[in-house]
Copies of this chain bind each other. A is one copy, B any other.
Amino acid sequence: MFNDFEILEEDVPVHLQVKQYIKRLILKGALHGDQKLASTREMGQLLGVSRNTVIAAYEGLEEEGFVYTLQGKGSYVAPLSAATGDAVPPWKTEWSSRLNDYARQAVDLDRMKSGIRAGRNTISFTSIAPDDHLFDLDHVKRAFLDRMAIEGNVLLNYGYAKGYKPLIEFLMRYMEQKGVDLQGKDMLITSGFTEGFDMILAALGKNNGGAVLCENPTHHTAIKNLKLNGFEIKGIPMEHDGINLRELERALSERAYDCAYFVPSYHNPTGIVTSPGKRIALMKLMAEHQIPVIEDGFNEELRYSGSHALPLIATAGRGNGVIYIGSFSKVLFPGLRVGWVLADRELIDYLESIKRARNIHTSTLDQSVLFQYLHNGHLEKYLKKARAEYKRKYEWTRLCCEKYIPFARVTGDGGLHLFLEFEENFDTHQLLEACSENGVIFTPGDLFFTDGGGVNTMRVGFSRVSDEDIDKGLRIIGGLAAKQLEG
């Protein structure tokens, strides 16, 4: 015994490694209860470490109750009545049979588990996460250190379910600047858009059978969360300037709905910005039919051209029927999981309790670093840089698409992605298979459709692809698409 000790990790103190080594022997049952341990001097020789190291290790073992000391006699292994795992008969449970439909559906709808993964040199157009080369790390560091200096102890202890107060105040003013009437409204900080959306759906009653209106296609994570929460989705086709209002009116005449979900800016996946006029017309219909609206503020911050379009919640004035979910995840730093829900005060009060029940509160560190970053005035500068860069990339991608790809229609007014539609019966899954063999992947568009349609569509996310790879990747896709069209 003791001849297989090795110093495995250079940056872990040796006495800790000795402690862990002996602990493992005790847990394995190789050392038994009340057995005397070698003296610290002897053990040091056995293991090839200093006596002081062994003293520190024995102290650590004693502190954790693995060893006891008899004055003048030495150290002994504590009798562990449950030392070895065989005291209890190990039994195997078949977990899948113990779980419910929610758990099963969560796996079935988990696109990350079924999607094609990019190999090392694959050019991937699947992501619409921000380009992390744009991140201004020094400002984030500064924000962290500033905030730690002001109230480090507060940041590391429990916070409030509603969120970090300075951040809420900042974002309330920020939303007011977008034209929102704050009267009667309140805010909850969530761990990103997805959590806000999921909690709202968990709270919403199904007075109308859980019927929900949305654009078709729409954000696939939203489709997943709607299904997981038991809602019935009614998708309305898109036009170049937003949802098709005639189709919407038809759907409204057919039945009542429990809510609607819309993405008015750089809509995922089509990239369409709903025009100001259509926003008003859409909201008039919602008001007339008294349908609560969940507005996805997705990528609103990236708007870089055209006249200003108010968020839906701003068009509603003092009305309390719109729930706005915001996030900087596609603009600033998705690693900081921070989003916000701005809505009627009474509703926020319910959501606050759900937030507390689900995970107490969003990371105070994330919230405070984000707050300090905003407070230090870095958002405007960063957005200016990001907008310019993404605009350039958008135009380059669009140019390459037009040059290489035999699509029937392209949509996308900017943002981080474009959406391509091929002629009917064209299968983008088949195209993806051929492309992935040639080192290029993208997102097939049918994932975003609420009705099984869209097999002839695809989303091209360009935010994290280099100019060179955009050209190269789209050329490959175009060539293979042309081949497929001929075949």
A interface with B by C-beta (< 8 Å): 11-13, 16, 20, 23-24, 27, 60, 63-66, 68, 78-93, 95-100, 102-104, 106-107, 109-110, 112-113, 129-130, 132-133, 135, 137, 140-141, 144-145, 148, 152-159, 161, 177, 179, 181, 190-192, 194-195, 198, 202-207, 221, 224-225, 228, 258, 276-277, 279-280, 283-284, 287, 290, 292, 303-310, 314-321, 333-337, 344, 346-347, 349-351, 353-354, 356-366, 369, 375, 377, 380, 384, 387
Contact = CB atoms under 8 A, between A and B. Distances in A.
Given A65-B307, A280-B82, A155 B335 contact: yes
A56 to B, nearest CB: 10
Most B C-beta atoms less than 10 A away, residue of A132, A159, A318: A132
A196 B379 CA distance: 34
A26 B372 CA distance: 29
A113 to B, nearest CB: 7
A195 B307 contact: no
Given A85-B316, A157-B132, A284-B89, A360 B335 contact: no
B79 A350 contact: no
A307 B80 contact: yes
B96 A346 contact: yes
Contacts of A361: 337
A98 B205 contact: yes
A96 B346 CA distance: 8
B335 A85 contact: no
Contact of A283 (B88, B205, B344): B88
- Among A203, A319, A337, find the residue whose CB has the most chain B CB atoms closer than 10 A: A337
Contacts of A375: 11
A378 to B, nearest CB: 11
List 10 tightest A-B contacts by C-beta distance, closest first: A85-B317, A90-B319, A65-B308, A103-B203, A156-B333, A195-B359, A132-B153, A335-B364, A110-B353, A106-B353
B93 A350 contact: no
B309 A82 contact: yes
Nearest to A349: B107
B132 A156 contact: yes
A277 B16 contact: no
A363 B195 CA distance: 13
Contacts of A104: 350
B194 A112 contact: no
Given A89-B287, A290-B91, A334 B158 contact: yes
B141 A153 contact: no
A341 to B, nearest CB: 13
Contacts of A314: 27, 82, 85
Nearest to A317: B85
B319 A358 contact: no
B380 A363 contact: no
Nearest to A133: B153
A100 to B, nearest CB: 4
Nearest to A148: B141
A276 B89 contact: no
12 contacts: A16-B377, A23-B177, A63-B387, A85-B317, A89-B287, A92-B319, A93-B344, A99-B350, A107-B353, A141-B145, A141-B148, A159-B335
Contacts of A369: 365
Contacts of A304: 63
Given A156-B336, A361-B337, A384 B63 contact: yes
A192 B360 contact: yes
Contact of A158 (B89, B335, B354): B335
